[in-house]
A and B are shown apart, each in its own frame.
Chain A
Amino acid sequence: MTRAVHDIGGLPAGPIEIAEHERTFFEQRIDAMMRLLAHPTHGYYTVDAMRRAIESLPREDYVGLGYYERWLQAMRKLVVEKGLVSEADIEGKLRSLANEAGQK
């Protein structure tokens, strides 16, 4: 039986990194946006949809991305799915932000 990328109970893994750090602003903002978008009454989709979107990441992304980066990828997929923004909007915005950075 094949496993989905997130279904990892019992798989071999290394030592646990116990040291903690304060969440960065980047992490705090992603978490906040996620809670707003998946709010039980004012939201646009469920936490279940967020999980499903994360579970659909390719294995190298699931393993290679940080926890909040995975949520960010899920958010990108779901805001397009729900018609809140289009993929063209996102690509256009990424291009203009990259150009802005290039001009600095």
Chain B
Amino acid sequence: MKPSFAPGDKVRVVARETATHCRTPHYLRGKRGVVSRVFGTFPNPEQLAYHRIGVPHVPLYQVDFDYAEVWGKAAPNTRISADIFQHWLEADR
């Protein structure tokens, strides 16, 4: 799977509900950030968790978020980074 995003791209974490294993934290769902690193592709943990092989491998990104975007209140000079799989990201125009 070719990566859809590159460093500098504005993205939004998909605001989806899950009942199964997922590595996209609740506190980041629906939040807008910027891709800072592209890590390559990895087996999908959502599949590995249920004894499945986890193919196709999914591109993984480091995404940087402003504190105010995440928590809805200001905290100057504070940002949060997290590693998010491609299927949890959409382009943010």
Contact = CB atoms under 8 A, between A and B. Distances in A.
A41 to B, nearest CB: 14
A62 interface: no
B45 A48 contact: yes
Interface residues of A, number: 16
Given A1-B17, A2-B17, A48-B45, A7 B25 contact: yes
Interface stretch (B1-9, B46-54, B85-93): B46-54
B48 A49 contact: yes
Nearest to A3: B26
A74 to B, nearest CB: 11
Contacts of B21: 48, 51-52, 55
Contacts of B45: 48, 51
Contacts of B20: 52
B27 A10 contact: yes
Contacts of B71: 10
B26 A7 contact: yes
Interface of A: 1-4, 7, 9-10, 45-46, 48-49, 51-52, 55, 81-82
18 contacts: A1-B15, A1-B26, A4-B22, A9-B26, A9-B27, A9-B28, A10-B27, A10-B70, A10-B71, A48-B48, A49-B50, A49-B51, A51-B21, A51-B49, A52-B50, A55-B21, A81-B51, A82-B51
Given A46-B51, A49-B48, A52-B20, 7 more contacts: A1-B26, A4-B22, A4-B26, A9-B26, A10-B27, A46-B49, A49-B49
